[in-house]
Amino acid sequence: MRVLLAILFLLTSFAVGQDIIKFGAAISLTGKLAKEGQLLKRGYEIWKETVNAQGGIKVGGKHYKVDLVYYDDQSDPVTSARLIERLIVEDHIKFILGPYGSAQVFSSAPVVEKYGAIMVQAGGASSDIYQKGYRNIFGLYTIAPDYGRDLVELATRLDKSARKIAILYEKDIFSEDAAEGALQHAKRKGLEVVLYEGYPKQVQDLSSLMQKIRLLKPDIVIGSGHFQDSVLMVKQLKQFRINPKFLGLTVGPALPAFVEALGQDAEGIFGPVQWSPALRYRDPVFGSNQEFVKFYRERFGSDPEYHVAGAVAAGIVFQKAIEEAKSTDVVKVRDALRRIKIETLFGLISFDTSGRVITKPMAVIQIQRGKQVTVYPFEEAKPIYPKPQWR
């Protein structure tokens, strides 16, 4: 009986295998970017489960279920590139859902291009990704300079008397790009940039920068980095009794773990986000952004982060391009992606010739009473300004 069941299982698996489209992803499930990477994986899994429950991806007159193969890149760009090569060459997967982090996307993109696969990614925002002439890389994130630009724009709208700004950034491809966006917009706004300085990856102490900021007394402080260093920055700003009127940080405030790590000290801090639960978009899979948020709340007991929403949308965009192409041929799917203009829970998505999204805006959230609320470009709640004093 056991032998018969095993044979039936193998035959069933083989038959089902004929009706599957495989996607691959190398994601940071461990290491510095593990929090963000795990959120990305959650989004991919939500998309897979939802699409499969709806019958799968329709190619011509046939439906195909989605299967996903994951590897852990351990938050290392070199490992990410190597694993994506493995997905394409050894696992024979030609549709790649991108990793988290601009450095990972940047290192993986030439591999995808070399082997004629396609990547749709919602994890890398660096503008450098789109300056290499790649034909098969498509990104849903608004580019990194807009992170810094939007923070400076909001700060100057809230306080026209603000004069001095300090910009700190992690020395990596995304953070430097976002900091440059803040720097250029600060100059356009006539602010005095009293400090513009980077710090190493995996930094454990920012005391030397804190001493400089305390002496310079900026009205606005912008920190461009990732989750771990954003938490460190807040802790050390408090330690050195530095309380700027406006404190804006990339990535960190958008994660629930930010408030969990900092408690009351997270209050009043701003963060740019690629997406917000408050946005009102239609969606071809969930019906609308509101329906997606409702589904997520019921399942996980919290609001989804933009990392999750972006990952879900990346899958949806891939799916709709395949359906539009009526084929799994890489060239036909790529051409469909170049033509696509689709409203998703993540926003209106269409790409320029470099593969960069050109139709989706960003937003800025603020931590108020322990929750993320959208305060720009529309006000889900009024911004709290100036930032509350440290307790």
Domain coordinates in residue numbering, the chain:
2-142+278-360, 145-273+364-376
Are the C-beta atoms of residues 35 and 227 closer than 8 Å to each other? yes
DSSP 285: T
**pLDDT for position 18:** 53
Residue 373, H or E segment: strand 371-376
CA distance 14 to 335: 31
Strand 164-170 versus strand 192-199 pairing type = parallel
In which residue are the tokens 């008397």 written?
Answer: 161
Alpha-carbon distance of 90 to 390, in angstroms, equals: 53
Q: Where would I find the H helices in 301-390?
A: 306-325, 330-339
pLDDT, residue 8, reads 38
Domains 2-142+278-360 and 145-273+364-376 share a fold: yes
Residue in this structure with the two tokens 């940039």, named with its chain if needed: 193
Longest dimension (CA), the chain: 81
Q: In what helix (H) or strand (E) does residue 105 lie, and over which residues does it extend?
A: helix 102-114
Number of Cβ within a 10 Å radius of residue 338? 15
Contacts of 17 by beta carbon, 8 Å cutoff, 6+ apart: none
Tell me the C-alpha distance between 11 and 5, whole Å.
10
Residue 24 pairs in a beta bridge with 69, 96
d(C-alpha 171, C-alpha 289), whole Å: 35
pLDDT tens string, the chain, 391 residues long: the values are: 444 433 433 333 333 445 999 999 999 999 989 999 999 999 999 999 999 999 999 998 899 999 999 999 999 999 999 999 999 999 999 999 999 999 999 999 999 999 999 999 999 999 999 999 999 999 999 999 999 999 999 999 999 999 999 999 999 999 999 999 999 999 999 999 999 999 999 899 999 999 999 999 999 999 999 999 999 999 999 999 999 999 999 989 988 899 999 999 999 999 999 999 988 999 999 999 999 999 999 999 999 999 999 999 999 999 999 999 999 999 999 999 999 999 999 999 999 999 999 999 899 999 999 999 999 988 899 999 999 999 8
Please name the helix (run of DSSP H) or strand (run of DSSP E) that holds residue 183, with its range, or none.
helix 173-188
Tell me yes or no: is domain 2-142+278-360 CATH 3.40.50.2300.
yes
- CATH class of residue range 145-273+364-376: alpha beta
